[in-house]
Chains A and B, each alone.
Chain A
Amino acid sequence: MKPKSDLPQGTLDLLILKVVALGPIHGYAIAQRLEQVSRGVVQVPQGSLYPALHRLENRGLLAAGWKVTDTGREAKIYRVTRKGQTQLETETAGWQRLTQAVSLILKMSEGGAG
């Protein structure tokens, strides 16, 4: 098994929002997509995926509906609401600022400034 990283607090919601923003999708597919895209680095504990989805739905950032999938089964499909889209944009910007800042600080210490 590949080494896995623990997700920093609060990032799971952001990642879910991003994945769902790409197009309506059901729960299992979200988990798979996250794993594939992050090349296995990010593995979402499935146990916390569904509470997160329900939380986002409850906050009105996601909307959900039932659809019959290709396999002929009913699946709960999530999509991003307008409010969710805004939230995604703000949080993405925030996240980028943070990572830039963090990597700057890390580089600084590598360069042995002082």
Chain B
Amino acid sequence: MTWWHRLFHRRRHEEQLEKELRHHLDLHTSDLISQGYSREEAQRQAQLALGGSEQVKEMCRDARGTRWLEELLQDLRIGVRVLRKNPGFTLIVTATLALGIGANTAIFGLVDALLLRPLPVVKAPGELVLLMRGDGRGPALSYPDFTVLRERNEVLSDLALYTQAPISFGNNVRSEVVLGAMVSSNYFDVLGIKPAFGRAFLREEDRTPGAHPVVVLSHSFWQSRFNSDPSLVGRTIVLNSRRLTVVGITPPGFDGETPPMKVSLWIPVMMMSTMRWEPRESETRPDPLSNRQYENFGAIGRLKQGVSITQAQAALETINHQLEQSSPPPPEQRFDSNVDRSLRLIRPQGVMIGPIREIALTSSRLAGATVLTVLLIACANVANLLMARAARRRKEVAVRLALGATRGRLIRQLLTESVLLALVGATAGLFLAYLINQLLMAFKPPFPPPFTFTLDLSFDVRTFAFTFLLAVVTGVIFGLVPALQASRPDVLPALKDESNAEGTRVRWLNLRHALVITQVALSLTLLISTGLFLRTLRYARQIDLGFKPDHVLAVSFNLKLQGYNEAKGREFYGRIVERLERLPGVQTASVTNVLPLGFMSLSTPVMPEDRDVPPEERVFAGDVSVGSQYFETIGTPLLRGRAFTAQDTINSPPVAIVSEKLARILWPEIKESGEALGKRLRVGRSDLISCEVIGVAKDSRNNIFNRIDKEPEPTIYRPFAQNYSALASLIVRTDGDPRGLISGVRSEVAALDENVPPQNLQPLSETVSLASWSARTGAAVLGVFGLLGLVLAAIGIYGVMSYSVSRRTREIGLRMALGAKTRDVIKLIVQQGMGLTLIGAVIGVMLAVAVTRLLASLLYGVTATDPVTFAGVVLFVIGVAVLACYVPARRATKVDPMMALRSE
């Protein structure tokens, strides 16, 4: 029998104890009767010999060792009774705690999904490690280095290779782009994944390039595109215009090793060249499988039994170090001091895309700090309420102390009550957290497909455990001080109903004041942070991007996936622009190699032709190649000179348009940007092209990597015809809502080549809005919680002032009897409240100065100590506090002096 067994069979035990003692008494009684006693006397004697039944039972219960639990149950019963007797109090406290705890549960759920949750479906995810570079880059290995690391190490049971890229999937009706992965044949073995249907890859599929056109599909891809047709295994599908045989389907729930990106299919890495995998601009690089400079592969390994991640890292780094000695790093990394090429192992947990994980870390810290602050404010409120109630319960407590209850026992009972409150609040908080999470999902970053961003925010065991623990800790935090206060054994005055015992009152109120001050300070800090984000948002809306995203539809293509060569690609882009221009509602259309504020930015060294510049001093400029009506379409003003025309072809003399900034950097001597016209420059990394400047464009964020707050960089524009890119986007300026053109664009593309999938077909404004996503989310999350904190603080001030007024009824009555006017009384009360608020505000401002500095990286257009925000929020908080004081103050003036004087 275990203690919980005994506890849960408590009633049966009680019955059995009763029965056992009864049995004893009966036997003894009959023995005594047989010795000649009368029945009554015998019963009396037997009872006497045994002692008081209740005492014996109590001792037996003690002997059972479940005493503390039984007391706990008793406390819980008392607690439930007390709470049910004060439904109003219980409701307010529960609601307050539900808000505080619910917010924390919601954010924990998010942090869990973003940072903690292990890779789903795989076997023993704790043994898996991803190989990253010391500076956090990954995937960043070359294939030859991977094979060396795999063969020479003795710390991993095996190491698998992967690399991801968009891949076009043609299904004869309409083609689309999905995220695919190229992997070594042992990939699924390392992860411990058994296919739901068919097989994983075979060893021989890892040997000969191009020999095994096979593919494994993810369960969700198979479900959504092939209606879970089991006969698909063995048939072929078309990927990047190649036929591949489906050999297996993964078990449900597995979407690759880097959530939240959903990988839809896996192909042996030996198919890389055949599949025209390399999606970036083509350089004249050799086969990626033999090129040590092509570092786009990731590796995931499984630790051998008993090998720690630190040991494995050290062992792999030794091999990596030897590799580094034998070959120089890729050229673009050679002079960059931020590059750290050592190897680092990390466990796949939560979101594994480096930059997203960085954002997740920052925002988790921020959100965590915010909700903890809200919880602290809520705790302060509840503590205040409990103390007010403890004042009313002093008599009950005094009676219990007088009857011999120990102080510890009493504190335990009061704490049980507060933990009970917290648990009820936490239960309500779970529902609230569910709602908050639904809301949070609305703020998920709107990544364009195929980069489907999936985040499972459903509660798991960890979430429940966290909430339960938080509730218990919360209950103790807000319950301890009131319990200590309430159980102080000053029995006599309490019994005599001297509720105004001077000494105690002053000390109690001081503690309550401290709580109000804390609340004001904390909510002020939250609101100031919110204010800064709101100002950032306002700035983001007013910012001059340098282009006009409204009314522009954008669509991207990667013609290399379809095997287009340069001539064919040029023709495709030329003809599609013509077709789109003819669509009704289209003003202009053009082509460009890079979309503003998207997920790509290109740069190239530029130098003036009339001066010799050493390589390390070359200017790097944004490298944008554009079609003829680009500037009208994107909305970037051309300040001087002419735009590109159809006459600027591959055979005509090379020309360029520079941004104002580039003009000033290249030719510092010019006073007016027009002077740059006609000058010549050289552009490119290795084979320099000499161009004539034919125009100057206004500075614009046309080549900035998805950060709206980055200043425009110097940019060189070249004709698309003279600087072709297989990876390019079309932009279309429309009369009305650009969404109206989506289907039109789709059918024009299909009419030209049905196998070319349009990617990221969406209004340009969405790309731009993604660039201010972090500020918007920050403002929304902080704003909601900041207001929540303020409401709680206002309730706190109101509660304290009401309590204070109720305690001072007599004094106020006396004042009014002596001739004080309504105004004087209000002033008296409000002044007291304002005193607290102002102290809180001062502390809050100091706190905010310290805290907002940490937000600086997320803010732009506004300093972390923006005086407007600070002043505005302080005034706002004071206003709310005045209101919270005024209501009880009004009530105080309604006091009837005679009643007040008699009342005590």
Distance (whole angstroms) from the CB of B704 to the closest CB of chain A = 73
Distance (whole angstroms) from the CB of A36 to the closest CB of chain B = 12
Cβ-defined contact, A76 with B20, below 8 A: yes
Cβ-defined contact, A50 with B59, below 8 A: yes
Choice from A28, A45, A74 contacting B28 with Cβ under 8 Å:
A28
Choice from A26, A28, A46, A52 contacting B51 with Cβ under 8 Å:
A46
Cβ-defined contact, B23 with A28, below 8 A: yes
Residues of B within 8 A of A27 (CB): 20, 23-24
Does B82 interact with chain A (Cβ within 8 Å)? no
Does A55 interact with chain B (Cβ within 8 Å)? yes
Does A54 interact with chain B (Cβ within 8 Å)? yes
The CA of A16 and the CA of B527, in the complex, are separated in Å by 71
Cβ-defined contact, B16 with A51, below 8 A: no
The CA of A28 and the CA of B29, in the complex, are separated in Å by 11
Choice from B19, B55, B64 contacting A54 with Cβ under 8 Å:
B64
Knowing A46-B50, A58-B65, say if A76 contacts B59 (CB, 8 Å).
Answer: no
Cβ-defined contact, B55 with A58, below 8 A: no
- B residues contacting the other copy or chain, number (CB 8 A): 21
Render B1-35 as a binary contact track against A, CB cut-off 8 A, 1 for contact.
00000000000000010011101101110000000
Distance (whole angstroms) from the CB of B35 to the closest CB of chain A = 13
Residues of B within 8 A of A52 (CB): 63
Residues of A within 8 A of B52 (CB): 47
Choice from A28, A51, A66 contacting B62 with Cβ under 8 Å:
A51
Does B60 interact with chain A (Cβ within 8 Å)? yes
Cβ-defined contact, B23 with A54, below 8 A: no
Interface residues of B in 245-287 (CB under 8 A from A): none
Residues of B within 8 A of A51 (CB): 56, 59-60, 62-63
Does B49 interact with chain A (Cβ within 8 Å)? yes
B66: nearest chain-A partner, CB-CB: A58
A51: nearest chain-B partner, CB-CB: B59
A66: nearest chain-B partner, CB-CB: B16
Does A73 interact with chain B (Cβ within 8 Å)? yes
Cβ-defined contact, B16 with A76, below 8 A: yes
Cβ-defined contact, B23 with A26, below 8 A: yes
The CA of A76 and the CA of B56, in the complex, are separated in Å by 16
B6: nearest chain-A partner, CB-CB: A58
Knowing A45-B51, A58-B64, say if A50 contacts B20 (CB, 8 Å).
Answer: yes
Distance (whole angstroms) from the CB of B300 to the closest CB of chain A = 50
Does A48 interact with chain B (Cβ within 8 Å)? yes
The CA of A54 and the CA of B20, in the complex, are separated in Å by 11
The CA of A75 and the CA of B51, in the complex, are separated in Å by 20
Cβ-defined contact, A46 with B59, below 8 A: no
The CA of A76 and the CA of B19, in the complex, are separated in Å by 9
The CA of A35 and the CA of B20, in the complex, are separated in Å by 20
- A residues contacting the other copy or chain, number (CB 8 A): 19
Interface SS of chain B: helix
Cβ-defined contact, B63 with A28, below 8 A: no
Residues of A within 8 A of B63 (CB): 51-52, 54-55, 58
Cβ-defined contact, B60 with A54, below 8 A: yes
Choice from B16, B19, B51 contacting A47 with Cβ under 8 Å:
B51
Distance (whole angstroms) from the CB of B4 to the closest CB of chain A = 14
The CA of A26 and the CA of B62, in the complex, are separated in Å by 21
Residues of A within 8 A of B28 (CB): 28, 46
Knowing A54-B64, A55-B63, say if A73 contacts B23 (CB, 8 Å).
Answer: yes
Residues of A within 8 A of B50 (CB): 46-47
Choice from A26, A28, A50, A58 contacting B56 with Cβ under 8 Å:
A50
Interface residues of A in 22-61 (CB under 8 A from B): 26-28, 31, 45-48, 50-52, 54-55, 58
The CA of A27 and the CA of B23, in the complex, are separated in Å by 9
B61: nearest chain-A partner, CB-CB: A54
Distance (whole angstroms) from the CB of A77 to the closest CB of chain B = 10
Distance (whole angstroms) from the CB of A13 to the closest CB of chain B = 11
Most buried by B among A28, A31, A47, A66: A28
B62: nearest chain-A partner, CB-CB: A51
Cβ-defined contact, B23 with A50, below 8 A: no
Residues of A within 8 A of B60 (CB): 50-51, 54
Most buried by A among B20, B28, B50, B51: B20
Render B736-762 as a binary contact track against A, CB cut-off 8 A, 1 for contact.
000000000000000000000000000
Residues of B within 8 A of A47 (CB): 50-52, 55-56, 59
Residues of A within 8 A of B49 (CB): 46
Cβ-defined contact, A74 with B24, below 8 A: no
Render B650-674 as a binary contact track against A, CB cut-off 8 A, 1 for contact.
0000000000000000000000000
Most buried by A among B21, B26, B55, B60: B60
The CA of A66 and the CA of B51, in the complex, are separated in Å by 24
The CA of A102 and the CA of B482, in the complex, are separated in Å by 56
Render A65-87 as a binary contact track against B, CB cut-off 8 A, 1 for contact.
01000000111100000000000
Residues of A within 8 A of B59 (CB): 47-48, 50-51
Residues of A within 8 A of B51 (CB): 45-47
Render B54-86 as a binary contact track against A, CB cut-off 8 A, 1 for contact.
011001101111000000000000000000000
The CA of A45 and the CA of B55, in the complex, are separated in Å by 13
B50: nearest chain-A partner, CB-CB: A46
Interface residues of B in 435-476 (CB under 8 A from A): none
The CA of A19 and the CA of B219, in the complex, are separated in Å by 70
Residues of B within 8 A of A46 (CB): 24, 28, 49-51
Residues of A within 8 A of B24 (CB): 27-28, 31, 46, 50
Residues of A within 8 A of B16 (CB): 66, 76
The CA of A26 and the CA of B26, in the complex, are separated in Å by 13
Most buried by A among B19, B49, B62, B63: B63
The CA of A15 and the CA of B52, in the complex, are separated in Å by 24
Residues of A within 8 A of B21 (CB): 50
The CA of A74 and the CA of B681, in the complex, are separated in Å by 109
B30: nearest chain-A partner, CB-CB: A71
Q: A50-B59, A51-B56 are known contacts; what are 19 more A-B pairs with Cβ within 8 Å? A: A27-B24, A28-B23, A28-B27, A28-B28, A45-B51, A46-B50, A47-B50, A47-B55, A47-B56, A47-B59, A50-B21, A50-B24, A54-B60, A54-B64, A55-B63, A58-B65, A66-B16, A76-B16, A76-B23
- Residue contacts A-B, CB under 8 angstroms, 8 given: A27-B20, A45-B51, A47-B50, A50-B20, A50-B24, A50-B59, A51-B56, A54-B63
Going nearest first, the 9 A-B pairs with the smallest beta carbon separation are A47-B51, A51-B59, A55-B63, A54-B63, A28-B27, A51-B63, A28-B24, A54-B60, A46-B50
